Structure 1
Amino acid sequence: MAAPAESTAPASRLTGTLGVGSIVFMVIAAAAPLTVIAGTIPLGVGAGNGAAFPMTFVLCAVVLLLFAVGFCAMSPHVPDAGAFFTYIRHGLGRPFGLGAAFLALATYTAVQAAVYGYIGAAIDELVASLGGPSVPWWVWTLAVVAIVGVLGYRHIELSSRVLGVLLLAEIAIVLVLDVVVFASGGGPEGLSTALFDPVQVASGEVGIAIMFAIASFIGFEATAVFRDEARDPQRTIPRATYLALVIVGVFYAISTWAIVSAWGDEAAVAESGANPATFLLTTFENWLGPAGGLIVTILLVTSLFAAILAFHNVAARYWYALGGHGAFPSAVGRTHARHGSPHVASLTQTILAAALVIVFAVAGLDPVAQVFAWMAGTATLGILLLMVLTCIAVLAFFARSRVDRRVWHTRIAPALGLVGLLVCLALTIRNFPTLIGGSTGLALGIGAVLVVVFLAGVVVAVTRKPAEPALSGDPAAPGGVPGDTPRENV
């Protein structure tokens, strides 16, 4: 028997005509390709499975594509913004859904805070290298917070255009390096073959390699967050999800292969392990000269900005979804009369981000070694927990509702994705202290915070006064499936 559905009508609807390309731009921008190339690849090669690290991106992309099959199959049956939140709510019920919503909001706020720390330090370093003044990192970061706040307040199409330009620039410079390396036949040892050797792929600290690789895909589920602003959600969302995963996975794998080949297997492992912070810059300067090094330094800053803007838009839409469903004040779930944007939700996220930056600054935290490392680690663990819950929700929803009888889409692929994600989650938990700087106590503290945030959402769902129930027996109703009975709103 199908579980009862919930009313999903928000206070007002977001508007937009985003196509597949626009949504893919925002999702890939959130993945911050150049930032991953600069930060994750040296760690994956130097501390993970060495020269075979490129194949780790492919393996993680396969796991996430299996996850995406069930995710996209369920998309037509949860036609509202909120992504993880709405999927889990429809599959596992209101308490789990609201717990996931709180966890998702905390997760995206954490990853945005991580990049805010990084970009402050990166801008200061860039300005100083060009002869400008050196100021505290948080001064630059608060300026970025203000710019992002303005863009987030306005129509989503503006953010999409900004992200598109920045994304094309950062991808272009990496592709130039890829083409030069491959056209030259690689470095002193030719093109690396380590990624094609299963023994080398499974060698070294493969758990650390998988942990860093899976973290590089954070944000791909944002395709469903923008469904209200998509031109044709039924087609746009699945296409954008698959396309984003394939593009990101292939781009990371090929670019890592090129960088490893540029050095040679042993030299790449040695250099990335000894100098992870300058590994990418040195690679570009060696192959494209000083001008290439300067360009990549500038584009690293724009890559970070693009990621922040993308994560801001995702977080704002979680605020909006929760406001529209009554979990937060109704004003958060309203849209701007002219811009059609979740302006109150966006302002709320901007204020929260500014407050976090001020707290980090007053506490004297290092923007990269502490703010970025701690918050990025928190986001990685949170996203994996959310994806595991979403996989379970997809399986439960289709087993109960039977609105889609395709075995591969509703059972086999989601089950395989769940197994793969559980493996990734176990490896991440095992290596979590490494991801956040080596402190077991801090790792336990962060894990406890995530659990408390999730439980807080569950408690709110259980204890709050139920909203007006919705009659959703009509499968055409938002969130309705055949056989549904009335149920209170979130």
Structure 2
Amino acid sequence: MIIAASAPLTVVAGGVTTSFAVTGSLGVPLGFLLIAVILTVFAVGYTAMGRFITNAGAFYAYIAQGLGRPLGVGASLIALVSYNAMQVGIYGLFGFQLSMFLEAKFGFASPWWVWILLCIVVVGILGVNRVDLSAKVLGILVGLEFLVVIVFDVISLGAAPEGVSTATLAPSALFGPALGLILVFGVAAFMGFEGAAIYGEEAKDPKRTVPRATYAAVAIIGVFYAFSAWAFSVGIGPSQIVAKSQESGPDLMFVFMSSHAGVLLADIMTVLFLTSLFAALQSFHNSVARYFFSLGREGVLPGWFSRTSRAGAPWAGSVAQTVIAVIVVVGFILGGEVFGGAAALGDTAFLYPVLTMFTWLTNTGAMGLVLLMAVIAAAVIGFFAKNKRGVGIFTSLIAPALSGIALLWVFVMILQNFPLMLGQEQPDLTTFLLPGVILAAGAIGIVWGYILRSRRPELYRQIGHGTEPGAYGTQLIEVVEDGN
């Protein structure tokens, strides 16, 4: 689930080329390793806290118990907005890519939004079934992604027009003026890594498997992306990788494969690029469904969100996420077709779902999740300050403090470079509106938390504690299951 959310093939094809193109730096491969180090340090306290808290609303429960219930409710709404934004934004790229592929290969022209709506149905069906089914489907897709990227890496190293150069692995390439930008664009590739804790209630042995999955995912993703970015630079040539990435963007990978491995393999990679997007869509959908479930169980949202299917999946949360996706997609369809959003883009009108829906929403979601991780680091310190629980000072204070400062710096860098991330020459309304949505969600959640404290004190006491013995949420779930 974690690696599916990070979408390996999508990151190598799109994220790596975008990083080279926008930063103009050769330090992209080492940037992935640096982010992996920061997140590994973050995971030290995060997974330690997870040994004492098992909750499908991971961020929400951690912050509620570490920094207070109102902040926990605020975090829950930021998480809902961020995960929804990531998931719905990816639909834009999926619909565009599939529509373009079918037209290029079969001459079949079709609206991009048709494929999005069909995909929403498939994702929704998988979402209301047991997580095992989603995991099996995603496991196969992710395995194929890794295989095809490894093939690409091998071919790149074999091509090496300038020799197998280590120019992009020099520390001087990373630690320069573009360091902040490299981290800003690279951190999005890791979004979803924190998701193991979300599945803690469904795991057979969460105290062991959740930390193991978290560390393994960070290590695998970091090393794999760094190696693939380096191989990419070798295949194109270090002196050409920035210029070629600026010229071709994500298509550079497929153009390269067409000329070095044949059209058939390039087409297979394109299909797997689409399945990579599908895997990420399913993973984020599942995360949103479980947040709805956790908040409904504890009364922060209406109780019906906590309803599960006979298979044990949070079907109400899954349906809610599906409805949100449909509403937002329809909004972008109307924006493009009725209000002239696509026409306003001129010659790039055909890229409307990519330049707006995908770019706006995924960058907004990544920003929200980075903010949450910075707050989680503070929550770890607060949680263990109340009771050490036998945890050492490095785990309870030093590691979360270091990672929290680093993540907060990355968040500030995202805010400073948000127009660049949105591809804007000059800031406009969306530059401020999109970050505002994240901050407003947090503020509304905090206010709602205080309202619950004054009006429903018994429910308030259970916020972030829904899986503890005797908790209101646990009793509610038992009633719902008996009703089924």
Task: Give the alignment's TM-score, normalised by structure 1.
Answer: 0.89
SS in 1 for 2:160: coil
AA at the equivalent of 2:39: L
Q: Does 1:141 align with 2:116?
A: yes
Q: Which stretches in structure 2 are left out of the alignment for 5+ residues?
A: 342-351, 470-475, 477-484
Q: Structure 1, residues 220-248: CA drift from partner, whole Å, max 9, x if none?
A: 11100000111100001000000011111
In structure 2, relative to structure 1, the CA distance for the partners of 1:157 and 1:454 (3 Å cut) is: same
Q: CA deviation at 1:311?
A: 0.4
8 Å contact from structure 1 (residues 194, 201) kept in 2: no
User: What whole-Å deviation, never above 9, does each CA across 1:429-472 have from its counterpart, x for those lacking one?
Assistant: 11111111225232211121111111111111111332536999
Structural RMSD (CA): 1.9
After TM superposition, give the deviation of residue 197 of structure 1 in Å: 1.8
Question: How far is the alpha carbon of 1:179 from its aligned partner?
Answer: 2.3
> Matched residue of 1:378: which SS?
helix
| Equivalent residue number for residue 440 of structure 1 | 427
Q: Partner residue of 1:65?
A: 40
Tell me by how many angstroms 1:478 deviates.
4.8
Specify whether residues 300 and 383 from structure 1 end up closer, same or farther in structure 2 by C-alpha distance, changes over 3 A only: same
Specify which of 237, 242, 252 is matched with residue 269 of structure 1: 242
Q: How does 1:154-303 map to 2 (within 5 A)?
A: 154-182=129-157, 184=158, 187-203=160-176, 205-303=178-276
Query: Corresponding residue for 2:69?
Result: 94
Q: Which residue of the partner structure matches residue 402 of structure 1? A: 388
The Cα of 1:181 is off from its aligned counterpart by 3.1
Quick check: 2:297–2:466 contact (8 Å CA) kept in 1?
no
Q: Partner letter of residue 368 of structure 1?
A: V
Aligned mates of 1:120, 1:405 — CA distance in 2: 47
Q: Deviations over 1:398-436 (max 9, x none)?
A: 112222331121111111111211221122111111111
**Do the aligned residues in 1 keep the contact of 2:79 with 2:369 (CA within 8 Å)?**
yes
**Residue equivalent to 1:460:** 448
Give 1:477 deviation, angstroms.
Answer: 9.9
**Cα distance in 2 for residues equivalent to 1:98 and 1:31:** 26
Q: Which amino acid aligns with 1:106?
A: V
Quote how far apart the aligned CAs of 1:104 are.
Answer: 0.3
Task: Quote the residue 1:451 is aligned against.
Answer: 439
Partner of 2:9: 34
In structure 1, how many angstroms separate the alpha carbons of the residues matched to 2:403 and 2:146?
28
Q: Distance in 1 between matches of 2:374 and 2:28?
A: 24
The amino acid of 1:345's aligned partner reads: G
Deviating more after overlay: 258-267 vs 289-298: 289-298
Instruction: Report the alpha carbon displacement of residue 76 of structure 1 after superposing the two structures with TM.
Output: 1.7
Which segments of structure 1 move beyond 6 Å, counting only runs of 4 or more?
469-472
Give 3-state SS (helix, strand or coil) of 1:468's partner.
Answer: helix
Secondary structure at 2:379 match in 1:
helix
1:85 CA drift (Å): 0.8
CA distance in 2, matches of 1:137, 1:193: 40
The counterpart of 1:430, out of the listed 416, 437, 443, is 416
Residue aligning to 1:485: none
Q: Is the 8 A contact 1:177 1:287 kept in 2?
A: no
Q: How far has the Cα of 1:40 moved from its partner?
A: 1.0
Distance (Å, rounded) in 1 between the aligned partners of 2:404 and 2:393: 15
Q: Secondary structure at the match of 2:110?
A: coil
Deviations 1:247-293 (A, max 9, x none): 11111000111110001111111100122132111122233221221
SS of the equivalent of 1:216 reads helix
Deviation at 1:208, TM superposition (A): 1.7
Select 2:20's aligned residue among 28, 41, 45. Answer: 45
Q: Which residue of 2 aligns with 1:56?
A: 31
Give the secondary structure class of the aligned counterpart of 1:265. Answer: coil
Q: Does 1:362 align with 2:334?
A: yes
Q: Could you tell me which residue of structure 2 aligns to residue 127 of structure 1? A: 102
Does 1:419 pair with 2:409?
A: no
Match of residue 390 from structure 1:
376
Q: How many correspondences in the alignment?
A: 450
Code of the residue aligned with 1:396 in structure 2: it is G
Q: What is the deviation of 1:170? A: 1.2
User: Which residue pairs with 1:373 in the alignment?
Assistant: 359
In 1, the alpha carbon distance for the partners of 2:461 and 2:292 equals: 25
Structure 1 window deviating more from structure 2 (405-414 vs 379-388): it is 405-414
Aligned counterpart, 2:480: none
Match of 2:311 in 1: 339
Deviations along 1:144-178, whole A, 9 cap, x unmatched? Answer: 00000100011111101110111111111000121
Amino acid at match of 1:266: S
Q: Deviations over 1:97-153 (max 9, x none)?
A: 000000000000000111011100011011112214211111110000000010001
Q: 1:49 deviation in Å?
A: 5.0
Per-residue deviation, 1:390: 0.4
**Cα contact 2:9–2:146 (8 A) shared by 1:** yes
Give SS of 2:163's match: coil
**Aligned residue among 315, 325, 331 for 2:288:** 315
Amino acid paired to 1:325: E
Higher percent of residues as helix = 2
Q: Which amino acid aligns with 2:437?
A: V
For the 8 Å contact 2:298–2:466, the answer to whether it is kept is no
Task: Provide closer, same or farther for how the CA distance between residues 181 and 231 of structure 1 changes in structure 2, counting only shifts above 3 A.
Answer: same
* Structure 1 stretches lacking a partner, 5+ long: 1-25, 481-488
